[in-house]
Amino acid sequence: MVGVDLPEPQGQQREVVYLAAQGHTVVLGTAGSGKTTMAVHRARYLAGAPGIGGPTLLLTFNKALVTYLKSIGARAPHLTVENYHKFALGYLSSVTGGPVWVCKTKETLVEKALTEVRATTQRAVAARPLDFFLDELHWMAGHGVTGQATYLNGVQRIGRGTSLAPADRAVVYQVYRRYLELRAAAGLNLDWDDAASQVLEHLRTDTRPRLYRHIVIDEGQDFTPEMIRSLAAAIPTNGSLTFFGDYAQQIYGSRMSWRSLGLSVSGKIEFEQNYRNSRQIARLAHAMSEMPHFRDEVDLVAPRAPTADGPLPTLVTVASKADQLRQAASYANGLAADRRVAVLMRTRAQEAVLRQHLDPRHRHYRIHRELPSWPKGPGVFYGTYSAAKGLEFDSVILPLCDVDELPKPTEVAAHGLEEALAREARQLYVAVTRARSELVILRSGPLTPLLPDAMSDLFYSLPT
C-alpha cells in the first residue's frame, strides 16, 4: 500500500454508491470493509449525477481525515469536503452575517466553575476529577440534554455503568450553569460541544434554500446525536443523507434509535467483508470485540474472516517503557524503505521521545489536523489512536500496551474502571485495525486487559 489511490468499489459496495438519491440511508460496516471508499465514491456520484445530483457535502470528524479524503480522490465539481465544525461555523456565520467566535477556554472555565461549586456542597461527586465534569458536559451538549428539568429527571446517560443519583446530577448542573455564566461574561455564547445544537435550532426555522442537496457522513460513529440531527435538518426534501459508520469504533455506545437521531431508516445496509486486514489481524480484532468490557447494545457488524494471509500479531516484551519507544522506532526504521508504517500511541505525551529515535534518512510524519497535504509513498507516520481513525497502513506498531498504561489512569479516575475499559477498548480496536498485514505490540510488564490473554494463540511472542 505504498500509494493512497482510491480503490474501485467491489461487489455490494457498488450498489451502495448508486443507491437512491433521496431520503436517509445507513451503511454499517466492520473495520476494513471499505466504508471510506464507498463514502467518497457516493459523494462524487451524488455531486455529478444528471438530474438527481447537486451540491454535495462529504463530512468527516477530523481535519486529518479531510486531508486524506481529498488525497484519495474526494475532489469533484459541486463537492465540498470538510469536518463537522467547519460546516457548523460556516452555517452559523451565514445566519448571523458575521464571524462566529468559539470559546476555546472551556476547560479553564469549567475548572473555575467546579472550584466555586465545590465550596458550596458536601456531595462526594464534587470531588470527582475535572475530566469527569468535562465529559459529562460534553455528553449533555452532544445529546441535546441541557435543560435543567430534562437532565435532572433522569435521562439515561448512555455508556455509564452506574447512573448518577439525582442529587449528584444537581451538582453537575450547577457546574454547567456556572460555566455558561462565566462564558457569557467573556462575551461568548458557543463552544465546540454545543455548536450542533445551535445549528439545529436555526435550521428548524431557516426558510432559505439549503446549501447542499446531498450530505454523506464518513466515520459517522464519532458524530454526536445533535450533529446527526442537524445534518438531517440541513438537506431539502428532495435531497439525501448517507451515513457510513462502525459502532465498534465508537468511544461509547449510542443505544439510540435512528428515528431519535432525526433519520427515517427502513433498514440498515451491513458490510461484513474485511478488505483491509490480514486474517490474523482480523482474528485478533474480532476477539477484542468479543471481550466482556467491549460488548454493548449497539449496531455491531460481525466481520467475515478475510482471505489475505499474514504473520500473527507479534507481542514483544522489553525491559522498560523507554526501551519500548526505542524498539518501536527501530522496527519502523527497518520497514520504512518500502512500506507505510504507523507507530500509534494512546496519547501524544511520548511523541517527542519517539521522534528522537526515528531515522532521518526516512520520511516521517506526525498525524495531526494541520497536515497541509496527505503524504504519498513509503515512510513512518506517528500519532494517537484517534488521529489514525479512517486511515490504514501496511504495518502498525503499538508501544506502551501495559496494564498500567491502558486503560489510561486518568480515564479510570474520571469514570471508574468499568466505563474506562469500555471506552479504551474501542480506542485500541481502532489502532489494531489500521494494520493491513503486520502488527507489533510492545509491553514492559503485564499486558493490558484490553487485549486477549498474552498466552493465547492470537499472538506470536518474541523471547524476552
Instruction: Tell me whether strands 240-245 and 393-398 are parallel, antiparallel or unpaired.
Output: unpaired
Torsion of CA 399, 401, 402, 407, to 10 degrees: 130
With cell 439549503, the residue in question is 210
- At residue 77, the pLDDT reads 95
- At residue 54, the pLDDT reads 97
Q: Quick one: which of 78, 458, 121, 415 has its CA closest to 290? A: 458
Profile the chain (464 residues) by mean pLDDT over runs of 10 residues.
Answer: 65 89 93 90 96 96 90 92 97 96 98 98 97 96 95 70 85 98 97 97 98 96 94 97 81 65 88 89 92 64 72 97 97 97 96 96 93 91 94 97 97 92 92 96 97 97 79
CA distances from 153 to 157, 168, 285, 411 (A): 12, 12, 39, 26
- At residue 185, the pLDDT reads 98
CA distances from 376 to 11, 35, 40, 157, 299 (A): 27, 21, 18, 42, 34
Greatest Cα pair distance, the chain, in angstroms, is 67
Cα 152 to chain center, whole Å? 29
Q: Quick one: which of 291, 308, 289 has its CA closest to 299? A: 289
Residue 230 backbone dihedrals phi, psi, to 5 degrees: -65, -35
- At residue 164, the pLDDT reads 87
Torsion of CA 170, 171, 173, 177, to 10 degrees: 130
Q: What angle do CA 274, 340, 251 make, to 5 degrees?
A: 50
Q: What is the pLDDT of residues 225-281, one digit of tens each?
A: 999 999 999 999 999 999 999 866 654 345 568 888 999 997 789 888 888 999 999
SS (H, E, C) the chain: CCCCCCCCCCCHHHHHHCCCCCEEEEEEECCCCCHHHHHHHHHHHHHHCCCCCCCEEEEECCHHHHHHHHHCCCCCCCEEEEEHHHHHHHHHHHHHCCCCCCECCHHHHHHHHHHHHHCCCCCHHHHCCHHHHHHHHHHHHHHCCCCHHHHHCCCCCCCCCCCCCHHHHHHHHHHHHHHHHHHHHCCCCCECCCHHHHHHHHHCCCCCCCCCCEEEECCHHHCCHHHHHHHHHCCCCCCEEEEEECHHHCCCCCCCCCHHHCCCCCCCEEECECCCCCHHHHHHHHHHHCCCCCCCCCCCCCCECCCCCCCCCEEEECCCHHHHHHHHHHHHHHHCCCCEEEEEECCCCCHHHHHHCCCCCCCEEECCCCCCCCCCCCEEEEEECHHHCCCCEEEEEECCCECCCCCCHHHHHHHCHHHHHHHHHHHHHHHHCCEEEEEEEEECCCECCCCCCCCCCCCEECCC
- At residue 218, the pLDDT reads 95
Burial of 377 (0-12, 13-18, 19+ CB in 10 A): exposed
Q: How many residues does the chain have?
A: 464
C-alpha cell at 203: 435550521
Contact 368, 64 (CB under 8 A): yes
- At residue 211, the pLDDT reads 98
Neighbours of 379 (CB within 10 A): 20
Contact 48, 78 (CB under 8 A): yes
